[in-house]
């Protein structure tokens, strides 16, 4: 579920925000997705901030940007990567200890 928040007057320039939350139904799957996506940092950290957290089977991502176009581009690229990682986890599952 993604939600966009309207600009706030006292946000210090980070006026555009969005929060995405995904429930993977499995803490292990959420952890794999979190660890995979955490290595990619924002390309323009002076224009877009991204904070990702995992709580049990849920992965939450909060974006803040100085302009709507930076928020859109960052969110879109992140969701594309998240979709790819999610498909890989669903298709190949998680190898159990001692099994390839």
Query: pLDDT tens for residues 10-31?
Result: 557 899 999 999 999 999 999 9
Residue 19 in any domain: the answer is: yes
| Residue 97 lies inside a defined structural domain of this protein | no
| Separation CA 64–CA 79 (nearest Å) | 15
In a domain, 17, yes or no: yes
Q: Is the pTM of this model over 0.75?
A: yes
- Number of CB atoms found within 10 A of residue 75's CB: 20
- Residues 87-94: contacts with CB within 8 Å, 24+ apart? 89/24, 89/29, 89/32, 89/33, 90/29, 94/28, 94/29, 94/32
In a domain, 98, yes or no: no
Q: Which domain holds residue 28?
A: 2-92
So what's the pLDDT on residue 98? Answer: 44
| Model confidence pLDDT, tens digit, residues 21-67 | 999 999 999 999 999 999 988 989 999 999 999 999 999 999 999 99
How many domains does the chain divide into? 1
Separation between Cα atoms, residue 12 and residue 83, nearest integer Å: 32
Domain presence at residue 80 = yes
Give the CATH number of the domain where residue 72 resides: 3.30.310.50
């Amino acid at each position: 579920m993604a939600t966009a928040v309207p600009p706030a007057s006292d946000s210090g320039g980070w006026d555009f925000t969005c929060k995405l939350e995904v429930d993977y139904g499995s803490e292990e799957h959420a952890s794999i997705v979190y660890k995979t996506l955490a290595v990619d940092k924002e390309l323009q950290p002076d224009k877009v901030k991204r904070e990702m957290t995992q709580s049990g089977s849920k992965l939450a991502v909060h974006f803040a940007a100085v302009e709507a176009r930076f928020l859109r581009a960052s969110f879109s690229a992140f969701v594309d990567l998240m979709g790819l990682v999610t498909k890989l986890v669903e298709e190949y599952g998680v190898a159990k200890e001692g099994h390839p």
